[in-house]
């Protein structure tokens, strides 16, 4: 009986290997012949926060340290909404979204314009009448001319989000879908 079970098991194993080999061969031939193309991601997610977070007054947010290759493109994005005042009247928040640039030892770089590189949003006003507002931008390359460039010598970054900039605790904002993603070029 044990011998029969072993033979049946070996037979099923051979059949499974043959089926997988046929599927693999079909996939390889299909890609080479252009019958179909495997779906390739256009974004490599580096940092992501999805559930809404509430910010009461001004409290800057800094992410963990993220290694970057400055020759590649990265997208910063966030959705922000401002809650109305307790009496229902509108209020506004000033928002900044960018990166703090760090050298290979993790020391903050400070050359060029601004304390941080605000490629996603720089002093953007959002009203409670606006609802959810999406802010985004792209940062790539090295230089000191613009906020959409990493500082020379950048090896890693920390995402910086400043919501309710210089506001008191009466201003309440919600943030969701905060992302820092590497954009991957697709081959033609």
Residue 60's pLDDT is what? 93
Digit-by-digit pLDDT tens for the chain (188 residues) are 777 787 877 777 788 787 777 777 766 666 566 565 555 444 556 666 667 899 999 989 999 999 999 999 999 999 999 999 989 999 999 999 999 999 999 999 999 998 999 999 999 999 999 999 999 999 999 999 999 999 999 999 999 999 999 998 999 999 999 999 999 887 66
92: left (phi over 0), alpha (psi -120 to 50) or beta: beta
Token code pair at residue 148: 């959409």
CA distance 82 to 130: 8
- Report helix, strand or coil for 83: coil
Could you tell me where the DSSP H helices lie in the chain? 2-33
To the question of pTM greater than 0.85 for the whole model, the response is no
Q: Using alpha carbons, select from 184, 187, 188, 160 the residue that is nearest to residue 42.
A: 184
Query: Nearest to residue 161, comparing CAs of 136, 131, 129?
Result: 136
> In the prediction, which pLDDT does 40 show?
45
**Per the structure block, which two tokens stand in for 92?**
């506004």
What is the predicted pLDDT for the residue at 6?
77
Tell me the residue ranges of DSSP E strands in the chain: 43-49, 53-56, 61-62, 66-67, 73-82, 92-102, 117-127, 133-139, 156-162, 172-183
Is it true that domain 43-183 has CATH number 2.60.120?
A: yes
Residues pairing with 93 in the sheet: 126
Domain ranges (residues) in the chain? 1-38, 43-183
């Amino acid at each position: 009986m044990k011998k029969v079970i072993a033979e049946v098991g070996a037979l099923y194993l051979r059949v499974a290997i043959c089926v997988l080999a046929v599927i693999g061969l079909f996939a390889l031939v299909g890609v080479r012949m252009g019958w179909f193309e495997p779906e390739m991601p256009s974004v490599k997610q580096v940092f992501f926060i999805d559930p809404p977070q509430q910010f009461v007054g001004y409290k800057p947010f800094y992410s963990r340290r993220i290694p970057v290759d400055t020759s590649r493109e990265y997208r910063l994005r966030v959705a922000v909404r401002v809650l109305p005042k307790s009496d229902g009247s509108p209020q506004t928040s000033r928002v900044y979204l960018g990166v703090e640039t760090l050298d290979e030892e993790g020391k903050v770089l400070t050359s060029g314009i601004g304390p941080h590189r605000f490629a996603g949003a720089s002093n953007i006003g959002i009203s409670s009448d606006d609802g959810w507002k999406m802010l985004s931008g792209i940062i790539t390359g090295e230089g000191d001319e613009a906020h959409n460039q990493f500082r020379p010598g950048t090896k890693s970054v920390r995402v910086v989000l400043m919501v309710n900039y210089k506001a008191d605790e009466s201003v309440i904002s919600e943030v969701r879908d905060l992302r820092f993603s590497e954009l991957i070029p697709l081959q033609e």
